[in-house]
Amino acid sequence: MSSIVDMTSADTHCPYCALQCAMTLRTGAAGAVTVAGRDFPTNRGGLCQKGWTAADLLTHPDRLTTPLVRAAGRLRPAGWDEALDRIVTAVGDLQQRYGRDAVGVFGGGGLTNEKAYALGRFARVALRTRTIDYNGRFCMSSAAAAGLRAFGLDRGLPFPVADIAAADTVLLVGANPAETMPPFVRHLADRRLIVVDPRVSATARLAALHLQPTPGTDLVLANGLLHVAIGEGLVDADYVAARTTGYDEVRRVVAQWWPARVERLTGVPVADLYATVRQLADADRAVVLTARGAEQHSTGTDTVSAFVNLALALGLPGRPGSGYGCLTGQGNGQGGREHGQKADQLPGYRRIDDPAARAHVAAVWGVHPDDLPGPGPSAYELLSSLGTPSGARGLLVFGSNPVVSAPRAATVTDRLCALDLLVVADLVRSETAELADVVLPTAQWAEEDGTMTNLEGRVIRRRRLRPPPGSVRTDLAVLAELSGRLGAPTSADPRVVFDELRRASAGGPADYAGISYERIDAEGGVFWPCPTPEHPGTPRMFLDRFATPDGRARFVPVDHRAPGELPDDEYPLYLTTGRQLTQYQSGAQTRRIAALPGGPYVELHTELADRLGIADGEPVEISTRRGTAVAPARLSTTIRPDTVFMPFHYAGPGRANTLTGDALDPTSRMPEFKLAAARLTRVRPRAAGAPAGGSGPRTAGDPVVGAGRPA
């Protein structure tokens, strides 16, 4: 094992996606940090471009090394006491004037388990506010909701990644791991791969069968596949009878989705529907996986439920080597949603409105259960109400950049500007930090210890290579200092925090009580639930029973309903958004790394380009009912002619989330990122004598980097 004492090397994990590839960091004689891939079940020694360059940000000139406070409309350097005093004074004033919920917290799915737990504790004990949520609401919430109602428990993958590599057939819905998590693709090698995606993505090009549905019709597709399975006699009747409930009602619903009707609505040929079902049913081991393309819709929870219904009918969940799973996106997307930064949850996946859960966690925290606040607003509802009479007047942001990542981003930016207090803890001056009253510099992944929970539900160790630079502090240290000043002292030591997390999660659905740093080090990771030190952990869930009261999985009847908006004469195109290979999330980190090139673009079919007179590479203006963005055209013959695509990693004129809407899934409160009605036009040439600069008009709410908010 690598030495942590001399801090010349450390075995740790990549700071980016939920695959959490293992790597070894080494410090050279000149202080430069090198990265080497390390053998681990998820990455088998491989890394992607983002992983190989992850250390470049450690010494980047944009790195924040001292707190900043706003004065006369500009951010200036300050000491920690001045910055923290300003926060505590403003928090006290706002809560005295407007109530406890007037100060909120917004977290991130990349925070360690310890930080996610500490953030939830800070909100409920130090601030005593119900106003807390996190950006994971924008990522996995629909799959989580569907998993809870079908299986009684949400763990993204209820089996190890190795089971995917051993499957005969994999159905991948709305995922593009060839760009989002490239080392994962080796687990798909030699599998019969079926991909559902409106684009011929890098992953779709690897597939034996590609289904290219009209955006917003994935639920229809899933119901149609189940219709075919029933009609062809491919349902596993013994499994359905022994391990599930609710099948008859689902069968009645899908009866109306005969193949020809499904083809008319989705565009997927009838022959491909039959081929998909037969390949899944004929496999000895088959896996159904969903991801953001299916989930980021106002119907996302029901869409995932429809694919879960298909998996249940074929007898896959809980069968060794087969199953249903969700490909979690953010680095700690799984652990980050388990321990309390979600508006309706307490540690261990406990519900905050459950009296027994409140009593257990309150005892660990040393407070009375009645002093714990109730559930708060979901992420977009929290952000879109900031600065209004019904919303928070102050917000503390940890590990998120909502100016770029939130839907209807111009509106969210305006709401952030309306706050009386905005505090941002970050590594760099992100677009959100530029609007803050106080910016707190925090440590990077190589500068702190902690744990993460990867997409398999495996709890792993993040190990520190070296201390953070200058006066930078860890998020745990910041939260501990603020908590102490607010009269609710807590620890900044990650081991101490993790031990408290273990106690708080004990007996809950996500039970970490039997997991320790020492055990993770000895075993290379431990799968939850793990209730005691003697428990082996749970790599594969649901083998004997599901986490429902009767132990049976639930079929959930779901039917098609229209998305938040559809193309019309004014906005005739479907806009969908997603990731690209070299960038990650809002791009605050990866856009600063020279070895990771990229930029905004609008992908469109050559037929559409010919019709509009658009040439490859020329700037185009794309508009929705929320606003306008400008980016170069990228012509393709593999996207649907009625659909355009934009990556969402960029700020400024090419910000894709200027365009996305705020229709929310009624169950998960997931915004509809993946579908908007759009219009595309050429950017008119600049008139003679007009000032140069920019690649198009600046939309309302788009911040000018460095300008910040008025004093």
Domains contained in the chain, number: 3
Residue 134's closest CA among 420, 345, 354, 325?
345
- Can you read off the two tokens belonging to residue 131? 């106003």
Q: Name the residue with higher pLDDT: 425 or 328.
A: 425
Shared domain for 298 and 345, answered yes or no, is: no
Shared domain for 318 and 387, answered yes or no, is: no
Q: What is the DSSP string of 269-295?
A: -HHHHHHHHHHHHH-SSEEEEE-HHHH
Shared domain for 241 and 377, answered yes or no, is: no
Residue position matching structure tokens 């939850």: 528
Residue position matching structure tokens 């219904």: 309
Predicted pLDDT at 470:
87
Shared domain for 116 and 213, answered yes or no, is: no
The secondary structure of residue 567, as a DSSP letter, is -
**% of the chain exceeding 70 in pLDDT:** 95
pLDDT-derived band at 695, boundaries 50, 70, 90: very low
Last residue of a domain, one of 303, 327, 351: 327
Shared domain for 188 and 133, answered yes or no, is: no
Q: Is residue 46 part of a domain?
A: no
Query: Model-level pTM?
Result: 0.94
What does the pLDDT look like over 302-361, one tens digit per residue?
999 999 999 999 999 999 999 999 998 888 999 999 999 999 999 999 999 999 999 999
Last residue of a domain, one of 296, 327, 358: 327
Predicted pLDDT at 183:
96
Shared domain for 91 and 151, answered yes or no, is: no
Predicted pLDDT at 139:
85
Residues whose CB is less than 8 angstroms from the CB of residue 55 and which lie 6 or more positions away in sequence, other chains included: 25, 33, 34, 35, 446
| CB neighbourhood size of 666 (10 A) | 12
Shared domain for 122 and 178, answered yes or no, is: no
Name, of 28-32, 457-461, 696-700, the range with top average pLDDT.
457-461
Shared domain for 309 and 430, answered yes or no, is: no
Contact 337, 345 (CB under 8 A): yes
Give the separation between CA 149 and CA 707, rounded to whole angstroms: 46
What does the pLDDT look like over 96-143, one tens digit per residue?
999 999 999 999 999 999 999 999 999 999 999 999 999 999 988 999
Give the separation between CA 467 and CA 463, rounded to whole angstroms: 11
Predicted pLDDT at 710:
52
Shared domain for 381 and 499, answered yes or no, is: yes
Flag whether pLDDT at 24 surpasses 70: yes
Question: Helices (DSSP H) in 437-571: which residue ranges?
Answer: 475-485, 494-505, 517-523
Return the CATH number at 90: 3.40.50.740
Q: Is residue 697 part of a domain?
A: no
Last residue of a domain, one of 327, 357, 375: 327
Average pLDDT over residues 56-82: 96
Predicted pLDDT at 694:
34
Shared domain for 164 and 106, answered yes or no, is: no
Flag whether pLDDT at 709 surpasses 70: no
Q: Is residue 467 part of a domain?
A: no
Domain that includes residue 674, residue range? 573-682
DSSP collapsed to 3 states, 412-445: HHHHHHCCCEEEEEECECCCCHHHCCEEEEECCH
Q: Is residue 55 part of a domain?
A: no
Q: Is residue 42 part of a domain?
A: no
Flag whether pLDDT at 700 surpasses 70: no
Shared domain for 202 and 322, answered yes or no, is: yes
Predicted pLDDT at 706:
34
Return the CATH number at 675: 2.40.40.20
What does the pLDDT look like over 623-679, one tens digit per residue?
999 999 999 999 999 999 999 999 999 999 999 999 999 999 999 999 999 999 999
Q: Is residue 512 part of a domain?
A: no
Q: What is the DSSP string of 574-595?
A: EEEEE--TT--TT-TTGGG-TT
Q: How many helices (H) and strands (E) does the chain have?
A: 21, 28
Shared domain for 349 and 201, answered yes or no, is: no
Q: Is residue 246 part of a domain?
A: yes
Predicted pLDDT at 7:
64
What does the pLDDT look like over 553-608, one tens digit per residue?
999 999 999 999 999 999 999 999 999 999 999 999 999 999 999 999 999 999 99
Residue 588's closest CA among 16, 14, 13, 12?
16
Q: Is residue 31 part of a domain?
A: no
Give the separation between CA 419 and CA 709, rounded to whole angstroms: 10
Flag whether pLDDT at 699 surpasses 90: no
pLDDT-derived band at 380, boundaries 50, 70, 90: very high
